Amino acid sequence: MMDANQRWDVPEAVEWMSKLAEFKPLWIEEPTSPDDILGHATTSEALAPLGIGVATGEQQPAFISVPVCPHAGGVGLCELVQHLIIFDFISVSASLTNRMCEYVDHLHEHFKYPVIIKNASYMPPKEAGYSTEMKEESVKKHQYPDGEVWKKLLAAQGN
């Protein structure tokens, strides 16, 4: 997976991903503006023969105020998916071959029991559960739309 963070236009996205195709990325996330639905479709069609998908929609809920999973604890999902890897290893595959997981090396300060990586290996939580419980002060501060962070962002946009 690669994430362009909405930095490219369609020709740039196709050009860069064509050059990066040798690394066999599964998809490119939001190569163009979140509003550029036709651009994402065009990019997707151009990259399909290379086996590269296009993932998008992460930013769209903000425009129509629809609560979706990533906007209702998305940071927690990043923590949770790392814990699910151990389930795969113990209960499903019993193998590390072809296994990978993105590790986001920030935002851990918002969790009571954050994920720990040592020597490029996931360390299982010592506490029971999935260790995705957020600190109450972080939840209050970042809660949409009434949290301090969102109020400042919305005020800056004139909303």
> What is the chain's mean pLDDT, rounded?
82
Distances (CA, A) of 155 to 34, 72, 144, 147, 158: 21, 21, 13, 12, 5
Copy the structure tokens of residue 133: 């419980």
Helix (H) / strand (E) containing 121: strand 121-123
Please report where in the chains the tokens 């290893």 appear, as a residue: 89
Distance separating alpha carbons of residues 67 and 14, to the nearest angstrom: 31
Label residue 146 exposed, middle or buried (CB < 10 Å: 0-12, 13-18, 19+).
exposed
pTM for the structure as a whole: 0.47
pLDDT of residue 141: 92
Q: Among the listed ranges 13-27, 52-66, 96-110, which one has the minimum average pLDDT value?
A: 52-66
Residue (of 63, 7, 10) closest to 35 by Cα position: 63
Q: Which residue has the higher pLDDT, 114 or 82?
A: 114
Q: Which residue has the higher pLDDT, 61 or 108?
A: 108
Residues 33-81 pLDDT 10s:
888 889 999 999 999 999 999 998 766 655 555 554 444 445 556 667 7
pLDDT of residue 71: 46
pLDDT of residue 136: 93
Domain residues of the chain, as ranges? 2-63, 73-136
